[in-house]
Chains A and B, each alone.
Chain A
C-alpha cells in the first residue's frame, strides 16, 4: 500500500516539476513545499483519500464480525449484541478514520459503548436504611429470582454486609414452597446470629414478610431481608403471588438475583420480573466461575438498573462491590 502511495506521490510531484523550468522551477518547488506545509495540497488530498476511509455500514459489519464472536463466547445475549452494534453504527458510520487505525477505532468505540451499558445508576444501601429509619420503619429488602440463582445465600451475604456496618437485621422466610428452604435460611440465621421470622410450609409469603416487618418495627431492627421462592417467570400464578407480596408490604428495594452463568435467557428473566413487579436493583451471583461476565452486560443493558453487588464465592464475605470498568476490561 505504501509503495503504491509513494509512486503516486512521486508521479504527481514530477508532473508538476516537469512543467516548470530554470529559476522558475526552483522557486516553484520552494513554493509548493511551503504551501504544502501550510494547507493540504492536491497531493495531500490524495494521500488522505488513500489512507483514510469513511466508515460505512459494510466496513463496520466486516470488522465487527470478529468482535461479535468474542462477545457471543463471553455470553453477551444476541439481542444485546445487536443493540450494541446499532449504537456503534450511530456513532461511527460516516466518520473518516485512518485505515490503519480502523480496527483500533472500532474497538475503542465498542469499549465505550460497553462501558456506557454497564455504568448503571448507583444506589446507596445505607441511605435507604437511614431514610426508612426517619419514617420510623425498618428497610424492607425483598430478594427475587429464578430457581437456583442463589437468592438465599445472597440474602445471608447481604445481611453479613449490613452487620459489618453495624446495622441490625432480621430474616423473613418467604420461601414456603421448596423443601427445606426454611431450614436453609435458619442455618444462615444461626451462623449470623440474627432472628428469623417463619411460618409453616405452604403459608402465604406476603403474611410472613408482613410479620417480619412488624417484628422489626417492635424491636427497632434496621433491615428486614425477605427471601422468596424461586420461580419461573413464565408461571403466572407464582408471579401473581410475588405481586401480592409487593402490594401488601411495599418493599424499599426489590432485588433481582441472577446467576451470572445464565446465557441468552437472562434478558427474558430481567424483563419478565421487571414487568410483573418492577426491579429496583440487581445482584449477580457465581462470578467466581471462569466466565467472562457477558451476562452482566446483558442484564445491565436490558434493565439499566443499579447493580448492587457481585457474588464471587461461598463465604459470607464473598460479595464484591460492583465496578463497571472491571467488567469491560475482563471482556475486551
Chain B
C-alpha cells in the first residue's frame, strides 16, 4: 500500500513538476496511472473508465479561475481517485446484527473477532455466533478468540448453522451487537449459496459485510457481484493489508456492487482493524500524510500528543525511542505510524522497524539501569558509564552501545524528515485547503 501511494506521488510530481504541461504530459500521466492501478489489481474496465474521465475533464472542462492547468490536473486526478475509492466514510457503530461472508481463507473468523474487539473498545457489548460448521475446527477457532476477548459466543451443539443463528439471536437479545461468522468454500457453490441465503433470511442482518483479502486478483468483482446477488452486501472489509498487496480488488468489489469499504485488516492481532476513510486513504496515497490518523493511533498507543509533536519537531529522547518501539510492538509494524507523518515514508533502518522482542526487553533493562541524566542526555554516556549500565542491566557492553547506535540512527532520520516535513507542510496545507481537507 505504501509503495502504491509512493508510486502515484512520484508519477504525479514527476510529470506535474515539469516547466510546461501539455497534452502529451497528461497522456503520459494517464498511462502511468493506468499501469500503477493495474498492478494494484484494479479491474481493467474500471481503469479505462477512470483514465477516460481524467482525459475528458483535463481537456474539456473549463479551468476554474485562479487555477493553473497544473493545479487543475492535480485536482482532477485527486478527485477521480477519491471517487474511485468511495466518497463518504461510513459508520457501522449503530448496527445490531452483522453477518460476515467470504470464501475460504480470506480471514472471516479473525475479522469476526476483530469486529467484536472494535465494538468492545467503543464501550459496547458484542456477542458472536459461530455458523461455520464446514471447515475443520472453525468453531474452535472462534471460541478461542471469544475467550481471549471475553466475549460471549454461541455454538450449536448439533452443528446446525440455522439453529445456531436462531438460538444465538434469542440468547444474545441483551447484547448491543451480534456478529455472525459464516462458512466459506473455495468458490461460491450451490451448497454455500443455499446456506447463506437461508441464514440471511433467518438472521435478518442490518449489515452484511463481504470479507476479501488485499491480494485478491481480478476475480474480485465477479465474486462480489455473486455474493451481492445472493444476500445483498452492504459493505466490504479488506484483510491482509499488512502484506505488500495494494488492495485494488476492493475497488473492483465496490464497483461491482455499489457497496463501500468499511474496514481494513492491518495485522494478525485482534486490535489491528482500522476504520476505512476514503479521503484519508487517498491523501495518504498521494503522500500528503495523514495527521488525523496519526493522532488517533498515538492516543491508542497511550502516547501523549505533546510527546508526538515533540518527536516530530526533532526533540527525541532515549525514553521516546523506547516508548516508540515498545508501542509499535503492541500496535504492529512501526511503518504504520511513520507512514502517516508527512514525508516520513523515508524508511527507517530495517532493524528498528522489526525489533525482536528479546532485544526489546534488553533495551528496557538497559534504559532502566541509566540515571535520569543519562536518559535525557545520552551523549554523556562513555566507556565507564557503559560498563556500569551493562552490569546493572545484566547485558553485554556491546548491547548498550548497540542501543545507543540505534537511537542515534532513529533520531537522525526523524530530524531529517521532521525538517522537510515542516517545509512541505506549508504547500501541502495550501493544497489540502483547496480540497477541503483539514490539516
Could you list which residues of chain A lie within 8 angstroms of chain B, going by C-beta atoms?
69, 72-75, 77-79, 146-150, 153, 177-181, 183-184, 186-188, 232-237, 240, 259, 261-266, 268-269, 272, 285-286, 288-291, 294-295, 313-314
The reply to whether the CB of B268 lies closer than 8 angstroms to some CB of chain A is yes
Question: For the complex, what is the distance from the CA of A318 to the CA of B144, rounded to whole Å?
Answer: 30
Residue of B with least CB distance to A79 = B39
Chain B residue contacts of A289, Cβ below 8 A:
103, 186-187, 219
Question: Do A184 and B219 touch (CB < 8 A)?
Answer: no
Question: For the complex, what is the distance from the CA of A149 to the CA of B243, rounded to whole Å?
Answer: 13
State how many angstroms separate the Cβ of A126 from the closest Cβ of chain B. 27
Assuming A146-B243, A180-B140, what are 4 further A-B pairs, CB within 8 angstroms?
A69-B44, A233-B243, A266-B215, A289-B219
Chain A residue contacts of B249, Cβ below 8 A:
263
The reply to whether the CB of B436 lies closer than 8 angstroms to some CB of chain A is no
The reply to whether the CB of B287 lies closer than 8 angstroms to some CB of chain A is no
With A72-B38, A148-B213, A265-B244 known to touch, is A183 a contact of B140 (CB < 8 Å)?
yes
Q: Which 7 A-B pairs have the closest CB atoms?
A: A148-B105, A263-B217, A180-B141, A263-B41, A236-B354, A265-B245, A184-B137
The reply to whether the CB of B214 lies closer than 8 angstroms to some CB of chain A is yes
Residue of B with least CB distance to A82 = B35
State how many angstroms separate the Cβ of A263 from the closest Cβ of chain B. 3
Chain B residue contacts of A186, Cβ below 8 A:
137
CB pairs A–B below 8 angstroms (6 shown): A79-B39, A234-B243, A263-B218, A264-B38, A289-B103, A294-B217
State how many angstroms separate the Cβ of B193 from the closest Cβ of chain A. 14
Question: Do A235 and B218 touch (CB < 8 A)?
Answer: no
Question: For the complex, what is the distance from the CA of A265 to the CA of B42, rounded to whole Å?
Answer: 12
With A236-B350, A286-B104, A288-B186 known to touch, is A269 a contact of B140 (CB < 8 Å)?
no
Q: From A73, A268, A288, A295, give the contact of B243 (CB < 8 A).
A: A268
How many chain B residues touch A (CB < 8 A): the figure is 50
Question: For the complex, what is the distance from the CA of A79 to the CA of B353, rounded to whole Å?
Answer: 28
Chain A residue contacts of B136, Cβ below 8 A:
183-184, 187-188
- With contacts defined as CB atoms under 8 Å apart, how many contacts are there between chain A and chain B in the complex? 152
Question: Do A235 and B138 touch (CB < 8 A)?
Answer: no
Question: Do A73 and B244 touch (CB < 8 A)?
Answer: no
Chain A residue contacts of B106, Cβ below 8 A:
148
The reply to whether the CB of B205 lies closer than 8 angstroms to some CB of chain A is no
Question: Do A147 and B240 touch (CB < 8 A)?
Answer: yes
With A262-B216, A264-B217 known to touch, is A237 a contact of B356 (CB < 8 Å)?
yes
Question: Do A264 and B39 touch (CB < 8 A)?
Answer: yes
Chain B residue contacts of A184, Cβ below 8 A:
135-138, 140-141
Question: Do B104 and A235 touch (CB < 8 A)?
Answer: no
Question: Do B104 and A150 touch (CB < 8 A)?
Answer: yes
Question: Do B44 and A232 touch (CB < 8 A)?
Answer: no
Chain B residue contacts of A77, Cβ below 8 A:
39
Chain B residue contacts of A187, Cβ below 8 A:
136-137
The reply to whether the CB of B292 lies closer than 8 angstroms to some CB of chain A is no
1/0 contact string of B119-163 vs chain A (CB within 8 Å): 000000000000000011110111111001000000000000000
1/0 contact string of B197-233 vs chain A (CB within 8 Å): 0000000000000000111111100100000000000
The reply to whether the CB of B246 lies closer than 8 angstroms to some CB of chain A is yes
Chain B residue contacts of A147, Cβ below 8 A:
105, 107, 240, 268
Chain B residue contacts of A261, Cβ below 8 A:
216-217, 219
Chain B residue contacts of A72, Cβ below 8 A:
38, 44, 218
The reply to whether the CB of B405 lies closer than 8 angstroms to some CB of chain A is no
Chain A residue contacts of B143, Cβ below 8 A:
180
With A72-B44, A263-B245 known to touch, is A148 a contact of B240 (CB < 8 Å)?
yes
Question: For the complex, what is the distance from the CA of A234 to the CA of B256, rounded to whole Å?
Answer: 30
With A72-B44, A75-B217 known to touch, is A232 a contact of B105 (CB < 8 Å)?
no
1/0 contact string of B237-264 vs chain A (CB within 8 Å): 0001011111011000000000000000
Chain B residue contacts of A79, Cβ below 8 A:
39
Residue of A with least CB distance to B41 = A263
Residue of B with least CB distance to A179 = B144
Chain B residue contacts of A286, Cβ below 8 A:
103-105, 186-187
Question: Do A314 and B186 touch (CB < 8 A)?
Answer: yes
Question: Do A290 and B215 touch (CB < 8 A)?
Answer: no
Q: From A73, A149, A177, give the contact of B218 (CB < 8 A).
A: A73
Question: For the complex, what is the distance from the CA of A294 to the CA of B136, rounded to whole Å?
Answer: 30
| Most chain A C-beta atoms within 10 Å of own C-beta, residue among B148, B246, B357 | B246
State how many angstroms separate the Cβ of B358 from the closest Cβ of chain A. 10
Q: From B107, B141, B357, give the contact of A179 (CB < 8 A).
A: B141
Chain B residue contacts of A236, Cβ below 8 A:
350, 353-354
Chain A residue contacts of B105, Cβ below 8 A:
147-150, 259, 286
The reply to whether the CB of B40 lies closer than 8 angstroms to some CB of chain A is yes
